[in-house]
Amino acid sequence: MKLELGIIKISDIQFAAESKVEGSTLYVNKDEVKALILEDETFASCELDIARPGESVRIAPVKDVIEPRVKVSGEGGVFPGWMAKVKTVGSGRTNVLKGAAVVTTGKIVGFQEGIIDMCGEGAQYTPFSQLNNLVLCLEPVEGTLQHAYEKAVRLAGLKTATYLGKLAKDIEAEEIRTYETPSITEGIKLYPDLPRVGYVLMLQSQGLLHDTYVYGVDAKQSLTTMIYPTETMDGAIISGNCVSACDKNTTYHHLNNPVIEDLYARHGKDLNFVGVIITNENVYLADKERSSDWSAKLCEYLGLDGAIISQEGFGNPDTDLIMNCKKIEAKGVKTVIITDEYAGQDGASQSLADADIAANACVTGGNANTVIHLPKMDKVIGHIEYVDKIAGGWSGSLQEDGSIIAELQVITGATNEMGFNKFSAR
Amino acid sequence: MIILTNNPDVMKTMTERDVRFVDGTYRDVLIKARDLVHQGHQLLSHPLMGSLKPNETPYRTVALSDSGGPLDTDSLLLIENAIETFDKFAKVTRPDRGVNTPQEMLADFRLIDLSLIQSMEVNE
Amino acid sequence: MVKEIERAGIPVVHMCTVVPISLTVGANRIVPTVAIPHPLGNPALSKEEEHDLRKKLVGRALKALETPVDGQTVFEE
Amino acid sequence: MVKVVHYLNQFYAGKGGEEMANLPPEKVKGFVGPGMAFNAAFKGEAEIVATVYCGDSYFNENKDAIDTVLAMIKEEQPDIVICGPAFNAGRYGVACGTVASEVKAQLGIPTLTGMYDENPGVDMFKSKTIIMKTKDNAAGMRKAVAAMAPVALKMAKGEELGSAAAEGYFPTGIRKGLFEEKRGSARAVDMLLKKLKGEEFETEYPMPQFDRVAPNPAVVDLAHAKVALVTSGGIVPKGNPDHIESSSASHYGKYDIDGVEFLTDKTYETAHGGYDPVYANADPNRVLPVDVMREFEKEGRIGELSHYYYATVGNGTAVASAKKFADTFSKELIADGVQAVILTST
């Protein structure tokens, strides 16, 4: 399967009378987007705002971040099962508005976290401070249940991203990136001497605010399965996960999965990137056993020599991670795991909830308990009272000058367990 | 299946199951679960289910097998690690979270907890 | 703890319920016991039966101390 | 000029061996013993202004010894405190580790000590002070001083230390944040390729390792042997006189059971918080089998049951902390002539 990504660089977003992409500026007609979102009667109101890199702006609480993309050629449409029919995606050409994102905010539950600071200390920990963000603040009609509100916000984000993506359908991108995965047999013929490497992508799937969807299917109800890496670039996997801001995988992460990109970068040179195994992280231990058995079985079935395993979330996914690692290693497949840590504010505590000697090759996205200082921002997009309640801080962490001392775990994407960032710990 | 919980919504909703109410904290539920594991019950759900940190949500629900058998080592390690993790997080208390959760936020925490423990029912 | 005693040069037998943990912490002579809250007893038994059970288990531990071992050894019935 | 205070035990201070181990803390101006080598290694950048020393037994047996030592050090207002090195001397290691961590915690002055791998002080204090790796005996002094002096200078000047491997200290176990050159996914691919080629790679999060000790020979004549009971199940005299903590206890209790035929719910209880205490409290012999051991003693199956038993609280899963004191009481067991130990755990 072969996919070309047409990269259209966006360096600014502006509100304008007509929605369009001109040069590297994305113009957005506010009213059109609002009308589109308010078609959903779940919403009482919808506010749009723009946050650009370097501005004194804080966005909170962030639910999801989505990159606008559009299918130019090839089967299906972006976000299959949601914004397009359930048709296999991942081939042909897709245009990407690189440098732009849709950020959804909405206080679905009272304790939601997730901050994006566009400048200051917090900005260096989140990749989203580097993007031009169109922020949606979505309020439900009274009496809306949390399940319904979450789904509506999720869809509003996908809708808006799709709407923006379509503006770039007819643009001829200057930069084309090509990704191709041959069939198993072709791969063996093409690269007989290269190690066969797979990617085990763990998806959060525990329940409300903890879900991930594949082609519209709730991942907790799916067995471990396989997917072409390019399918993820067309939005085959989307996030419904709103909890644990620092180490949840947003839809943006799934679209730009760094493990997939970096395995492709070495594909055909140092390794043969065979494919992606997607597995879930369920609440029940029997599910964990079954899913990790299947991960190991598929690794064996594909004749892999090595696999990278990435995690999502805090606490019990450590158990899934270690089960996957142990069982895959037991099949003779060498593994590297990517995780993050909760080592306490002083860094002195045992970092992982679960550990095993099989996990002898580990990459970490850093200590989520790291204390950071978030300066006062001129503008807050989203829920100001939420920020006033010292999000992610503790008693006495709100400073007199209005700045906040908090733990890194409140920053969206800060300790991402796909290895999206450069932050780490030793 | 035995369901230990300090979440009244689980008690009210999952009436067809053997729900045992623990009148206490998140930690008290873990301790009760540990005692059952020591008696040979197996954990069926992960004691740290959900991504909410132990100093964030005041509610906890744990599912265990009905009858005790020989001690299940995996369950033992899981529950003891969970208690250790709980205690690690308990060192930092947060305003509006955990034991300090204001009344109006409690319903949301109860809902998430209930949703997580009910997640197996979709597969039944 | 068991390792430090062994390292000091004293033969030691570890009586414990969770054998895998005992193996992990490096005990060489291991006698499995009844249950975590009552390793050397069983409240379900009568006083006499419980005493006999305990004597049997501790007797096994003494036997283990008298038995040369090459590496980690679990002394079961 | 960097001001250094040096801490030593009675032996290195030239006061005598074990017979002087009960010496209370004293202080002298300038350097003593190995301090001379340190002064030379500082090459004029630093100087030992005072040396504080104390007998190892005195230090470990008197709770206020540390306060006296701290007061003596505080008066000098040093830029850094160097303790030892202690090599493989257990009690000296604990003293050096205690002084170094307390000076750092209470006085806010950087501290440095040195020990051999197997010194129990390493595990006890490596997260609380920098401990340099040394040989197991004083023959390694020259090398230890050469390694410690430059690190001490860096610390005194407030410079950032390099990694544990580069500087030669024991990894502190404290996780420190940093920004890498490459993102995590690229590092993972690099690491996997190395692992696949069988090349060396460095994991970013080392998993806990467990070492092994070879088994001791069997007891030949148990009928004439002295056997001691040790438990991690927290059985203590009623009222828990030593205040053993209910989880991952930081110390142990040593209790006389001379003349005790069996334990009862009136006299003993469990301090352990890691299990339902009902059964152990009702009959403490269920955890510490004094009753049947007395019978074996009477029957001549064993020579005698040791007068003392040792108790602490440890979950099977949290073993690291137990290492701290097990080393100490093992030496006491040997001194008492104990030939075999039964360790009971819950």
Give pLDDT tens digits for D204-242. 988 766 667 899 999 999 999 999 999 989 999 999 998
In chain B, what is the straight-line distance between the N-terminal and C-terminal CA atoms, in Å? 13
Q: Which of the four pLDDT bands, split at 50, 70 and 90, describes residue D135?
A: very high
Q: Does the beta-carbon distance from A259 to D188 stay under 8 Å?
A: yes
pLDDT of B123 higher than 60: no
Cα A24 to Cα B12: distance, rounded to the nearest angstrom: 56
Tokens of D171: 């990894």
Residue B23 to chain A, least CA–CA distance (Å): 23
Q: For C1, which of D211, D277, D322 is closest by C-beta distance? A: D322
Tell me if residue D81 falls in helix, strand or coil. Answer: strand
Is the ipTM above a cut-off of 0.90?
Answer: yes
Over residues D145-157, the mean pLDDT reads 95
Tokens 């035990």 sit on residue: D9
The CA distances from residue B96 to A80, A344, A394, B101, B102, in Å, are 39, 20, 9, 4, 6
pLDDT more than 90, % of chain D: 73
Structure tokens at A336: 């590297």
Provide the percentage of residues in chain D whose pLDDT is more than 70. 95
Classify each residue of D102-123 as buried b or exposed e, where b means 16 or more C-beta atoms within 10 Å of its C-beta: bbbeeeebbbbbbbbeebbbbb
Please give the structure tokens belonging to residue D153.
């200078």
In angstroms, the CA A211 to CA A200 distance is 18
Question: pLDDT band for position D244 (50/70/90)?
Answer: confident
Check whether D320 has a pLDDT greater than 60.
Answer: no
Residue B18 is which amino acid?
A: D
Element containing residue D199 per DSSP (H, E): none
CB contact under 8 A, B94 and A110: no
Which helix H or strand E contains D278, and what residues bound it?
helix D278-282
The count of C-alpha atoms lying within 13 angstroms of the C-alpha of A327, restricted to the half-sphere facing its C-beta, is 21
Q: Which of A307-311, C34-38, D161-165 has the weakest average pLDDT?
A: D161-165
Rounded to an integer, the average pLDDT of D196-207 is 91
- Poorest-pLDDT segment among A162-166, A402-406, D248-252, D336-340: D248-252
Kindly state the greatest CA–CA separation across chain D.
71
Greater confidence, D250 or D6? D6
- Per-residue pLDDT, averaged over A66-94, amounts to 97
**D207/A360 touch (CB, cutoff 8 Å), yes or no:** yes
For residue D208, give the DSSP letter: P
| Chain D residues touching B87 at Cβ < 8 A | 247
Over its C-alpha atoms, chain A yields an Rg (Å, rounded) of 21
pLDDT at C25: 79
Q: Is the pLDDT of residue A69 over 60?
A: yes
Which of A102, A70, A99, A64 shows the shortest CA–CA distance to A83? A70
Q: Is B77 on the interface with D (CB under 8 A)?
A: yes
Residue D178: phi and psi, rounded to 5, are: -160, 160
Residue D317: pLDDT above 50?
no
Nearest to A134 by CA among A381, A352, A423, A326: A381
Q: Which residues pair with D219 in a beta bridge?
A: none
In whole angstroms, what is the distance from residue B76 CA to residue D315 CA?
Answer: 11
Phi/psi for A235 (5° steps) reads 85, 30
Which positions 38-57 of B are in contact with D (Cβ < 8 Å)?
A: 38
Residue of A210, A127, A170, D239 whose CA lies nearest to B116: A210
CA–CA separation, A152 vs A169, rounded Å?
A: 26
CA distance D320 to chain B (A): 14
Contacts of D275 in chain B (CB under 8 A): 34-35, 38
Pairing, β A62-66 against β A100-105: antiparallel
For A386-404, the pLDDT digits (tens) are: 665 655 666 666 777 878 8
> What single-letter amino acid sits at C23?
L
Supply the pLDDT for residue D318.
Answer: 47
Beta-carbon contacts below 8 Å between C and D: 175
Interface of A with B in 169-208 (CB under 8 A): 204, 206-208
Query: Given this model, what pLDDT does residue A394 score?
Result: 66
A354 to chain D: closest CA residue: D207
Q: Give the pLDDT confidence of D103-133 residue by residue, as tens digits.
A: 999 999 999 999 998 888 888 888 889 999 9
For residue D185, the chain A residues in CB contact (below 8 A) are: 258-259, 261-262, 308, 310, 338, 363, 418-420
Average pLDDT over residues A174-190: 96
Alpha carbon A385 to chain centroid, angstroms: 26
Out of C18, C35, C37, name the one closest to residue B73 (CB): C18
The set of chains that have 3 or more CB pairs under 8 A with C is B, D
pLDDT in tens, A328-379: 999 999 999 999 999 888 887 777 666 777 899 999 999 999 999 999 899 9
Q: How confident is the model at residue A303 (pLDDT cuts 50, 70, 90)?
A: very high
Give the separation between CA A8 and CA A164, rounded to whole angstroms.
12
Cα–Cα distance between A267 and A356 in angstroms, integer? 30
- pLDDT tens digits for range B26-73: 999 999 999 999 999 999 999 999 989 998 899 999 999 998 788 898
* CATH classification number, D2-167, choose in 3.40.50.2300, 3.10.110.10, 1.10.10.10, 3.30.1330.20: 3.40.50.2300
Those residues whose C-beta lies under 8 Å from the C-beta of residue A54, and which sit 6 or more positions away, are: A118, A119
CA nearest A242: which of A140, A116, A114, A146? A114
Residue of higher predicted confidence among D90 and D154: D154
Read off φ and ψ for residue C56, nearest 5 degrees.
-65, -45
Segment A211-235 mean pLDDT: 96
The per-residue pLDDT for range A90-114, each reduced to its tens digit, is 999 999 999 999 999 988 887 888 9
CA–CA distance, A68 with A252 (Å, rounded to integer): 9
3-class DSSP state for residue B53? coil
* DSSP 8-state secondary structure symbol assigned to residue D170: -
| Annotation marks residue A46 as catalytic | no
What's the gap in Å between the CA of A247 and the closest CA on chain D? 13
Report the distance separating Cα A99 and Cα A175, nearest Å. Answer: 14
Which residues in chain D are closer than 8 Å to C39, comparing Cβ atoms?
233, 286-287, 344-346
Domain membership of residue C48 as a residue range: 2-74
Tell me: the pLDDT tens digits for D256-289? 999 999 999 999 999 998 889 999 999 999 999 9
Q: What is the mean pLDDT of chain D?
A: 91
Q: C19 pLDDT band (50/70/90 cuts)?
A: confident
Q: Is the pLDDT of residue B120 over 80?
A: no
Q: Say if C69 is an interface residue toward chain B (CB within 8 Å).
A: no
Sequence-distant (6+) residues with CB within 8 A of A350 are: A343, B84, B88
Taking the CA of residue C25 and the nearest CA in chain B, the distance in Å comes to: 14
Band of the pLDDT at D315, cuts 50, 70, 90? low
Q: Quick one: tokens of A189? A: 């013929």
Q: Taking a contact as any Cβ pair under 8 Å apart, which residues of chain C between 9 and 38 contact chain D?
A: 9-18, 21-22, 24-29, 33, 36-38
Instruction: Using the Cα atoms of residue D27, residue D33, residue D38 and residue D39 in order, give the sign of their dihedral.
Output: positive
Q: Structurally, how many domains does chain C consist of?
A: 1
Question: Quick one: pLDDT at residue A391?
Answer: 57
Measure in Å the smallest separation between the Cα of D294 and chain C Cα atoms: 11
pLDDT at D113: 97
* Residue ranges covered by each domain of chain D: 2-167, 222-344
The DSSP code for B121 is G
